[in-house]
Structure 1
Amino acid sequence: MNISGITLHPVKARRHSGETSQHVIVKLHTDASITGLGEISDLQELSYLPDLTVLSDELNRLLTGRDVVNRTEILGLIDKRYGTVEPAFRWGVEIALYDALGKLLDQPMYNLLGGRVRDRLRICYPLFPMYERSVAEASLVEVDKRLGQGFDMFRVYICGNLEVEEWFFRELRERHGDVPQIKSLDFSARFDRKTALRVADRLVDLSGTEMVESPVRRADPRALAEVRRALRVPVSEHVWSYAEALRLLDVEALDILNISLAALGGVTAAVELFALAKHTATPTLLGTTQEMSIGTAAVMHVAMATPNIDHPGDAVGPLLYLDDVTTEPVPYADGHAWAPDGPGLGVTLDEDRLVALSHPLYARD
């Protein structure tokens, strides 16, 4: 089954928060009349926005006529053309390759990855930065809502407004006791070493968090290592490449590898990092860039087939968005998610929704 063409469809999806996110839906067409679906997720996280006309022309020139089975060759061509500039391009195409091949073989994606080792993954729900008291109050309402849906674990983004953040955690415990677990305080690499330790000293015990995520700016791995040694809880860190993971592990800068498929550039890169984590006895968690249902389905298939995932995952994009492009979202229940049933990714594109959400890419202010 050979690739007959690739089309890219930019969409804009609203979040419940009132913000919007940009994505590109990838259609990988084949000479077997099978279309594989992919997603370049949450593009505001990219270092730049691509010219989709140019990107589409280049991908078609590189990949048309290639056999879908030859994934290694195809990903090598993408790497040669784009290098490490934007792994998201690789991610979007690789998902579509797996979806097309799974449809051809009538197998779910997790079987193409070695078979299912679990039937669901526990998921934590994100609470975004509380820059002012009104946002913290809204976050408490969100906790009430998500507890009612079975989510009892949360990841809290920290902005350093300690008066508000301390009020939030005190009020959370006053209302709910120990029921809402805090998986991580996500510092988003926004602090220097001194500030990170001061914020952690104020919030770690109060929140009862299991870990601190990305506590300091990324420029100096040794500064991260110093913070890690000083903290009373483990440090989780996003990694953007195999080489970066090696550097961080070499200076003992992290306790937990936060592995995001979109950030790394796809399934193959993530599988390699999970193998590194197993070899070095490093705990892992499966991170996110808040994908829509196509991207999240791929994340869940990887979760079903990967033994050494040690902490709850973060992929809740379909719950954050008011809009999506599939007929059914990725399933969630009782604070867990799992891979959709069916061949490939197990999701079906809703063409009407794709048209309705179509929107040219735009730069943020």
Structure 2
Amino acid sequence: MKISDLRLTVVGIPRHTGFVSKHVIVEIMSDEGVTGIGEMSDFSHLPRFSLDVTDLTAVLKSILIGKNPLDISAINKELLSNFPEMMFYYEKGNFVRNGVDAALHDLGAKALGISVADLIGGRIKDKIKVCFPIFRHRFMEEVEENLAVVRKRFQQGFDVFRLYVGKNLDADEAFLDGVKQEFGSKVKVKSLDFSHLLDWKEAAQAVKRLSAYDFQMVESPAFQNDFEGLRHFRLKVDHPVSEHVWSFRQQSEMIKHDSVDIFNISPIFIGGLTCARKAAAAAEVAGKGCLLGTTQELSIGTAAMAHLGSSLVNLNYTSDPTGPELYQSDIVKNPVQYENGYLIVPDRDKPGFGMELDPESIAKHKVDDLSWGDVSVHQLQDRTSQTKA
């Protein structure tokens, strides 16, 4: 079996906030008539440069066509030489490698008539506990809006939430107090996510202020790649510390400095399922826990993480992949399912990821490129459709 062709399709899917996130659907075709699908998820991040999709298609074709799609390790090695790690959280090369790697896994599993989970070692669990994100407060009036989100999602079965913090601590505290007063122990806050906005000292002061409220961990409480700062923060606070993995050098430094308790692993940020499995294995060897992170993927990317998570022995914390719940639409006929706060792993008898593209939805949401237009930094950070004065 050989790879015969590749197609990249850019779609713009609006979130419920009105913000439009752009994703690239990857289709890799084989000479045996099997097609694998993947997702380069949510390119709408800083830094504000975009890729030429026509040129990217030509580059990837030159790498992939004629290769055996089951030679996933060899292809990943070549992809890494063309799209190297840059030690940056939102490195676009990792997004590219993730989409291709996912499509290769989907194609290979379909060709063998098995699920991706079975291709990568079999499943340990059939559902994964997840939390719903509450996006960062900049204004006090957003507190009631976010409490309304908790009420709505709690009724849908989500009882664990992740709170982005650090822009307006008064509002963060008011929100946590509102959750405590209204829901008590029925609702849990998984983490305070600082997203590298504060240095470790400022983050430590913020955690001290908010420690009157229950939360399970603290995420990204230092500037990017400040491994010493992360370690100082970890020694200063009582809560477990989590950080995303966006390169193997960065993960190695965090292990060496003993900077974290939990590795937040997402294929999109480390460059695919192949790399995510290596990162999880490194965490296991280092005696660290894992959770699945997210950039808020559509159903293809989320299904890939469900298959990954189902096979991990050290996935021992509540995870983040609830992206499909944040969008007004999707590009598959059978979106991933959530039940009582769990992401359901697609059925084992469905080959590949168990996802089927919806041509009508793709045609409706297709856009020409990954260009930015008039989007403010606040819109990018808060995923809103407009910036308040």
Fold match by TM threshold 0.5: yes
Q: Deviations over 1:31-75 (max 9, x none)?
A: 111111010001023644211111100111111111111111211
Structure 2 counterpart of 1:276, one-letter code: A
Is 2:205 the partner of 1:204? no
Structure 2 counterpart of 1:228, one-letter code: R
Structure 2 counterpart of 1:45, one-letter code: H
Structure 1 counterpart of 2:137, one-letter code: M
Structure 1 counterpart of 2:297, one-letter code: E
- What secondary structure is seen at the aligned counterpart in 2 of 1:247? helix
Structure 2 counterpart of 1:98, one-letter code: H
Listed as ranges, the gaps of 5+ residues in structure 1 are none
Deviation at 1:132, TM superposition (A): 1.3
Aligned to 2:175: 168
Deviation at 1:287, TM superposition (A): 0.8
Structure 2 distance, partners of 1:204, 1:96, is 43
On the 8 A contact 2:166/2:198 being kept in 1, the answer is no
Change (3 A) 1:46 1:160: closer
Structure 1 counterpart of 2:371, one-letter code: Y
Structure 1 distance, partners of 2:212, 2:218, is 12
Q: TM-score, normalised by structure 1?
A: 0.97
Is 2:313 the partner of 1:312? no
Aligned to 2:284: 278
Aligned to 2:385: none
Q: Deviations over 1:208-244 (max 9, x none)?
A: 1111100111242111111111112111011111221
Aligned to 2:58: 57
What's the RMSD between the two structures over aligned residues? 1.2
On the 8 A contact 2:245/2:279 being kept in 1, the answer is no
Superposed, 1:49-128 pairs within 5 Å as: 49-85=50-86, 86-128=93-135
Q: Deviations over 1:226-278 (max 9, x none)?
A: 11111121110111112211101111211111111110001111111111111
- What secondary structure is seen at the aligned counterpart in 2 of 1:151? coil
Structure 1 counterpart of 2:303, one-letter code: A
Is 2:296 the partner of 1:290? yes
Say which of 238, 254, 257 aligns to 2:244: 238
Structure 1 distance, partners of 2:203, 2:2, is 51
Structure 2 distance, partners of 1:49, 1:133, is 34
Structure 2 distance, partners of 1:98, 1:193, is 38
Aligned to 1:357: 365
Q: Deviations over 1:94-118 (max 9, x none)?
A: 1111111111111111000111111
Structure 2 distance, partners of 1:46, 1:24, is 17
Say which of 253, 257, 261 aligns to 1:255: 261
Aligned to 1:17: 17
- What secondary structure is seen at the aligned counterpart in 1 of 2:314? coil
Structure 1 distance, partners of 2:158, 2:66, is 46
On the 8 A contact 2:220/2:243 being kept in 1, the answer is yes
On the 8 A contact 1:339/1:346 being kept in 2, the answer is no
On the 8 A contact 1:304/1:338 being kept in 2, the answer is no
Listed as ranges, the gaps of 5+ residues in structure 2 are 87-92, 377-389
On the 8 A contact 1:242/1:273 being kept in 2, the answer is yes
Structure 2 counterpart of 1:361, one-letter code: L
- What secondary structure is seen at the aligned counterpart in 2 of 1:16? coil
On the 8 A contact 1:160/1:199 being kept in 2, the answer is no
Deviation at 1:193, TM superposition (A): 2.5
Structure 2 distance, partners of 1:273, 1:90, is 15
Q: Deviations over 1:272-327 (max 9, x none)?
A: 11111111111111111111001101000001111110101100010001121000
Aligned to 1:27: 27
Q: TM-score, normalised by structure 2?
A: 0.91
